[in-house]
Structure 1
């Protein structure tokens, strides 16, 4: 007997039972939207981490500022800074009159532009006398600040011209391939030395000629710095036109002669009220009329300073 062929057993899939049903979530909103910012979705994990760090930092800063010890330390720091500022002002006030120095920096853009034009083109300017106004007590006359009087000396233009001259001289040396880090200090020393020498010479001359004024020193310092305006113009034009040859070319010499004469005339007209007391006396100033001999001596001294001294120092400072 033949056994019938047996078919293979059938295997039915065994159903699987899940203890939990998976939850379906909607995809995150696109990055950069307001909803993504509210839900905390960032452009990348680094941005999410960075935002968390910033939040933690602000939270720590808020906790620190709410700390009573930190508040006491902040108040102590503010008090110490205030007392330190008062100490510095009191000690500087022993040597420098801060209120008087602020007077020379009381300028405006309109004044600066017109003053530069006056220094470079003084030929047709009138009048040269300084304006005065009644003081707070109703009797004393005081000069108006530079903002209100074009003929008033200021410190802003001389200081900025001095700094510009130092930087321009160093730049020109760099263009010529002669730059040296020590050149900045050397140029600044020469420029400041010239100004200090001028002030000492003027003070000695004023002492010998019996010239006194309450604001004489600061006025002389201001006027001694106006020469740097002409020096800057001379160096810049000569360097551009002569192609790096400095003031040696004929164009450089022409510009130098013009700026020198303009600066000399400007000083001759401006320093009259300081070195010629008669002019100030006639306009109600504090100085008194002196003898004719003294007046001639002061006029000669003013001419010597405005032309001969300025010629030498301007030539020295414009040399390459």
Structure 2
């Protein structure tokens, strides 16, 4: 009897589509345990709060500094260190510059500045040239009034502002002529600075040989050395306008330069007589010094003439030729 064939072909099944998400799910790694140490870089996470691990540097640096600065004792310590450093710097600077004495030279008013500028440019008929004296805080004699109370008193406000104006004006005029370069500002400032430093060194050397050791008189000489920039500014500006943007060359430029040079020289010659040609001395050392002898007086007169005319001619020519 023939047995039936139970072998049948397998049934056909259609594949069922499975929807699998293509975006992986991001999950935070489990916290490290004692048996599973945390794997970090050599420096760890600098923004993680908590105790640093053996991997190195897991603490919050900004939080630590914030806690340090919020500590009253730490803030007091930092303030005390800053005050001590400031006092140390101030003491070292005071060895070379007396700031209390400099306040006297910046005690000016608007009226004084206008009148002093007019005096520097037109000194021909000004009288008198002697400075006004007053009684000191402890009753001393020979103290001079501040610039705001005496037109003949030297100041440092006008020289400093004139120096800055000269640097900016020279750069501006070069730009209007189409000759501006980035290094021109530094070159002009360097030239003016070298002239001022060399002139101060010459004055200090002259004071040394002429036995002028009073600090206030030396500061007066430094202040007077800066008034030349007023005449230079007028020379450069007026010559630029008259010559049609061609600089200070030409006949008109030289005429303006000659006038401002003579005005500045006469102003210095008359103003510096009380410093270099004193007649008597004050009781506290701040007044005029006594002339030692006729020879010393002649030497001071020659130095005053050379400084007012020869030195000023050379320096003003250098500064105004640009």
Q: TM-score, normalised by structure 2?
A: 0.72
1: CA distance, partners of 2:74 / 2:231: 51
Shift of 1:152: 0.9
Q: Which deviations, in whole Å up to 9, do the C-alpha atoms of 1:215-260 show, x marking residues without a partner?
A: 1221111111000000000000011111111111222111111100
Cα pair distance change 1:279/1:261, threshold 3 Å: farther
Work out whether 1:157 is the aligned partner of 2:158. Answer: yes
- 1:128-277 mapped onto 2 (5 Å cutoff): 128-277=129-278
Q: Distance in 1 between matches of 2:169 and 2:313?
A: 20
Q: Which runs of 5+ in 1 are unaligned?
A: 1-66
Deviation of 1:194 after TM superposition, in Å, equals 0.9
8 Å Cα contact 2:123/2:263 also seen in 1: yes
Distance 2:247 2:281 in 1: 42
**Which residue number corresponds to residue 109 of structure 1?**
110
1:172 Cα deviation from its structure 2 partner: 1.2
Corresponding position of 2:313: 311
What is the SS of the residue equivalent to 2:134? strand
Q: Is the CA contact 1:241–1:251 (under 8 Å) kept in the aligned structure 2?
A: yes
Kept in 2: contact 1:213–1:274 (CA 8 A): no
Segments of 5+ residues of structure 2 without an aligned counterpart are: 1-66
Shift in alpha-carbon separation, 1:251–1:289, aligned structure 2, 3 A: same
Q: 1:183 to 1:74 in 2, by over 3 A?
A: farther
Structure 2 match to 1:47 = none
2-side partners of 1:86 and 1:148: how far apart? 33
Count of aligned pairs between the two proteins: 252
CA deviations on 1:147-177 (whole Å, 9 max, x unpaired) are 1111111111101100111111111111121
Counterpart position of 1:285? 287
After TM superposition, give the deviation of residue 103 of structure 1 in Å. 1.2
Shift of 1:91: 3.4
Moved more, 228-237 or 188-197: 188-197
**Could you tell me how far 1:83 is from its partner in structure 2?**
5.3
TM-score by length of 1: 0.72
Worse overlay, 244-253 or 155-164: 244-253
Checking the alignment, whether the CA contact within 8 Å between 1:238 and 1:252 is kept in structure 2 is: yes
Q: Distance in 2 between matches of 1:203 and 1:101?
A: 17
1:57 maps to what in 2?
A: none
- More helix as a share of residues: 1
2:33 maps to: none
Is the 2:280–2:290 contact (alpha carbons within 8 Å) kept by the matching residues of 1? no
* Residues 19-98 of structure 1 mapped to structure 2, 5 A cutoff: 72=72, 76=76, 85-98=86-99
